[in-house]
Amino acid sequence: MDSGPTCPLRALPPCKVNNMHAHDDCLMHTCMNQQTHHTVYDPQTQGMLRLATRHSLKKSNHAFHVKSMASSLPGFVRCWGTPVSSPTPLDVPQDLGPVVAVATRDLHKCAITATKAVRCWGRWSYANAGMPADLGPAASLALGETYSCALLESGLVRCWGELMYSGVPPDLGPVVALSARSAHTCALTASGAVRCWGWDNLRQSSGVPNTVPVAAVVAPGALYTCVLGVTGSVTCWGQTDFVPPLDLGAVVAISGGVYHVCAMTAAGALRCWGSAFLKVPRDLGAVTSVISAGWDHTCAIVASSNALRCWGNVQGIVRVPADLGPVTSVSVATYHACAVTAGK
């Protein structure tokens, strides 16, 4: 682990839990040290992961390491908004206990407990059907609308639920980051490549450009996929509405929603673009790298207080519970959201 590259983003408070889900999505700060390696600030561990240059990645598969969320301080899951099914997945299991991460979709939810186990609830066929009994310690979660995936501490990816979209490519190999959105899943492999699978009607899975840089974060949306490179560049493919703005500049965190993308720039500003344009509130102020873009709404954590701010067109989510308190992570679905708080 790199102890101290010079990074202009160090003043930004790190988030403590990395959803990586699409997402959903406590994502990574990126910066460059003075040597010939890129470094990525990993908010799960509040430490630096050294990513070799593209030349070094071709020589070695050991430049990347899976970092577990379990090193984060555990908190408690709180969900709010409008349920879309009954029984509603907004009802958190009473015996869930402390967790280090939560991921949410419309009909099911999953969390990583303080003991690194995966717990899911909601519609059984999506949440638990086919869930491996020998899953093992989990590092992160990625949920589609009808399936669930976990990235294990070993680097393996395991998925269950609707097999049409959840089947893991047999040649995937070790993975260091995993994310999903509606019906496709993307992984950052140990060799530095981006691999996506699932729904592919606009080539959001298969259309990875040859020009994609060494990736730090993969952020899939409903019909598109974006990659944040270790140098801060953003590349998107699939639905053409999601081409990054020409004046975007270097980016340090990104989240893919259904109809829009939101990213935090190196200057500390939050920018959103896509087919559902969402104006960022003027009084938002500085935010952490915890951003979660949903249907046509977005949530972010305010840097000064760790309070959650949400805005957009889904009122049930925009109205954050008054007693929510500080949060470390948030995951947004179509009509509701879940967060990991510091207390019940």
Structure tokens at 28: 């990574």
For residue 38, CA distances in Å to 11, 102, 232, 249 come to 19, 29, 11, 18
- 323: CB partners within 8 A, 6+ apart: none
Per-residue pLDDT tens digits for 266-323: 877 889 998 765 788 989 888 888 899 988 889 999 988 999 999 988 777 888 999 9
pLDDT at 33 over 50: no
Average of per-residue pLDDT values in the chain: 77
pLDDT of residue 157: 95
Mean pLDDT, range 211-240, rounded to an integer: 91
Per-residue pLDDT tens digits for 82-93: 876 655 557 899
pLDDT at 121 over 50: yes
pLDDT category of residue 65 using cuts at 50, 70 and 90: low
Measure the CA–CA gap between 64 and 139, rounded to whole angstroms.
Answer: 14
More confident of the two residues 310 and 46:
310
Per-residue pLDDT tens digits for 143-195: 999 999 999 999 999 999 886 776 899 999 899 999 999 899 999 988 778 99
pLDDT at 98 over 90: yes
More confident of the two residues 267 and 95:
95
Tell me the pairing of strands 287-293 and 251-256: unpaired
- 118: CB partners within 8 A, 6+ apart: 110, 111, 112, 131, 135, 138, 141, 150
Mean pLDDT, range 3-12, rounded to an integer: 29
Measure the CA–CA gap between 72 and 69, rounded to whole angstroms.
Answer: 6
pLDDT of residue 225: 96
pLDDT at 38 over 90: no
pLDDT of residue 7: 28
pLDDT of residue 39: 32
